[in-house]
Amino acid sequence: MSSPSNSAGHIFNDGWTNVEQYLSDTVVHPDRALVDGVRRAREAGMPAIEVAPTAGKFLMLLAKIGGARRVLEVGTLAGFSTIWLARGVGEQGRVITCEREQLHADVARANIDQAGVGSRVDIRVGSATDTLKQLIEADTEPFDLVFIDADKPNNVHYLTAALQLTRPGSVIVLDNVVWDGRVVDSDSADHNVRAIRESLKFIGSSADLDATVIQTVSSKGWDGFAIAAVT
């Protein structure tokens, strides 16, 4: 690939990164807990693939605008999107977040507690497939908002579970659906690209979802997220 790529192997661009920093400083105002949390994640050797502050705050606003009280997240990583979502649901709200790696969950727990929203967040460590299955079998009260941001090959599986765990009016957001523009490569042998294409096909053809995709450029490169209302 001719474009420069960052440590996570994605395209980056100084202009996008500079604008992201400017928007973050001028409009988003991530607090010390979030800034310190990024440092903690890097010190723990975690990849720089957490949501950018602009995107994290978008998730917070989505929860807030929709009055979401119950949020489900697939893929905690270091807990940044989790913190934003927990802030969006308010004091009475709850976030259940699934994380496969114990190390990630430990860093996330510290970050979430530092951010002052620890009591709103339940981190379920283990395979998200198992956790989602347990939630479905327990006939859990429907979630208002689901954010999926984990291993891409399981996207369709997570979306299918999300449909079983939501109600008409719930919102489902799927991260990383543009993937440096590689999503249009219909012949790609890359398992992530193929999985992302499958998930967009699933979203676009589901009778239970009304959806669009927003393309983004930021410190995280060229990507985008799908946003869907459950009908």
Strands (E), 149-220: 166-175, 209-218
- Residues from 24 through 83 that contact ligand DHB (CB under 6 A): 49
Rounded to the nearest 5 degrees, what angle is found at the Cα of 182, between the Cα atoms of 179 and 185?
Answer: 145
Residue 170-209 contact track with ligand DHB, rule CB under 6 A, x = bound? -----xx---------------------------------
How far is the C-alpha of 48 from the C-alpha of 52, rounded, in Å? 10
Stretch that binds Mg ion, among 40-48, 59-67, 93-101, 148-156 (CB under 5 A): 148-156
How far is the C-alpha of 184 from the C-alpha of 165, rounded, in Å? 30
Report the nearest approach of ligand DHB to the CB of residue 139 (Å).
Answer: 30
**Nearest CB to Mg ion, comparing residues 103 and 136:** 103
Look at the alpha carbons of 19, 20, 21, 23 in this order and tell me if their dihedral is positive or negative: positive
Give the one entry of Mg ion, ligand DHB, none that residue 8 binds, where binding means its C-beta sits below a cut-off of 5 to 8 angstroms depending on kind.
ligand DHB
Residue 139-158 contact track with ligand DHB, rule CB under 6 A, x = bound? ----------x---------
**Nearest CB to ligand DHB, comparing residues 93 and 226:** 226
Count residues binding ligand DHB (CB under 6 A).
7
Q: Does 144 bind Mg ion (CB under 5 A)?
A: no
Report the nearest approach of Mg ion to the CB of residue 31 (Å).
Answer: 21
Residue 53, classified by CB atoms within 10 Å of its CB into exposed (0-12), middle (13-18) or buried (19+), is: buried
Residue 6, classified by CB atoms within 10 Å of its CB into exposed (0-12), middle (13-18) or buried (19+), is: middle
Residue 153, classified by CB atoms within 10 Å of its CB into exposed (0-12), middle (13-18) or buried (19+), is: middle
The site for ligand DHB (CB under 6 A) is made up of 8, 10, 49, 149, 175-176, 220
